[in-house]
């Protein structure tokens, strides 16, 4: 009886964890460049002294869906979408180099630093990119930023910097809790000239809304089934105790 309760209890607990992953994906359907997190259920025997009769239901997060999301044209000068594989290099809050697919770029009015919509500094040839006040600006497919400083004519259009675009081995990339991607062992990816961006566009989240909603309903029903199983086990235990008292 206690084995039945234990299996149902661990199943319910892990289903809650799976629902949290699924809900996070659903909450980010409008997040630029978001990559959906993946999970799976498995049964893991509990090792230790005694009879091998306990099995723990476990939810494993086995990485991130790296499929490209749909491209949406915006017309903004500083919106860029990475075409195909690759990432934009940014500086994480802790100072490490990290990588993102979010190309909703903007210039901080006070410092002139180029950053993403989430506030991460965009990396260039030699560190974070700083731009002067401009009349006009353009980002080429290879990430090169050309600017026309304020008070000058079109002939003054110059190259200010180049966005660092990388394409590391997907097997070496993992997603941090902050939503940014990192290389294992805090390694730094080299710039890759083959990575291209589309100016005036953004990559949307790659979350499949219909599939995620269906998964949410399935997980809710699975959780309800496991809770009902716990209640059934309790009722069976009460019935068995009552029969023993009568005997």
CB 142 within 8 A of CB 162: yes
| Whole-number Å distance between alpha carbons of 187 and 204 | 27
HEC string of 81-113? Answer: EEECCCEEEEECCCCCEEEECCCEEEECCCCCE
Q: Judge whether residue 247 has pLDDT over 60.
A: no
| Whole-number Å distance between alpha carbons of 45 and 118 | 42
Helix axes of 2-27 and 209-246: crossing angle, nearest 10 degrees: 160
141 alpha carbon, distance to own chain's centre: 25
**Confidence tier at 44 by pLDDT (50, 70, 90):** confident
Mean pLDDT, rounded, for 101-111: 93
| Whole-number Å distance between alpha carbons of 88 and 124 | 10
207-228 pLDDT per residue, tens? 999 999 999 999 999 888 888 8
């Amino acid at each position: 009886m206690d084995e039945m309760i234990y299996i149902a209890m661990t199943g319910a607990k892990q289903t809650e964890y799976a629902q949290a992953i699924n809900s996070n994906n659903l909450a980010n359907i409008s997040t630029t460049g978001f990559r959906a997190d993946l999970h799976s259920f498995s049964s893991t025997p509990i090792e230790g002294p005694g009879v091998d009769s306990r099995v723990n239901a476990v939810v494993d997060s086995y990485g991130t869906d790296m499929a490209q999301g749909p491209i949406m044209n915006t017309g903004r000068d500083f919106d860029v979408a990475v075409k195909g594989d690759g990432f934009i290099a940014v500086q994480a809050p802790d100072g490490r180099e990290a990588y993102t697919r979010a190309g909703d770029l903007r210039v901080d009015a006070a410092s002139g630093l180029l950053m993403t919509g989430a506030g991460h500094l965009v990396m260039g040839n030699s560190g974070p990119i700083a731009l002067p006040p401009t009349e006009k600006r353009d980002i080429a497919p290879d990430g090169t930023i050309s600017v026309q400083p304020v008070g000058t004519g079109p002939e003054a259009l110059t190259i200010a910097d180049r966005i660092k675009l990388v394409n590391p081995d997907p097997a070496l990339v993992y997603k941090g809790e902050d939503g940014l991607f990192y290389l294992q062992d805090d390694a730094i990816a080299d710039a890759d000239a083959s990575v291209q961006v589309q100016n005036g566009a953004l990559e949307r989240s790659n979350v499949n809304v219909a599939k995620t909603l269906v998964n949410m309903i399935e997980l809710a029903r699975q959780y309800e089934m496991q809770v009902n199983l716990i209640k059934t086990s309790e009722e069976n235990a009460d019935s068995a105790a009552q029969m023993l008292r009568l005997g």
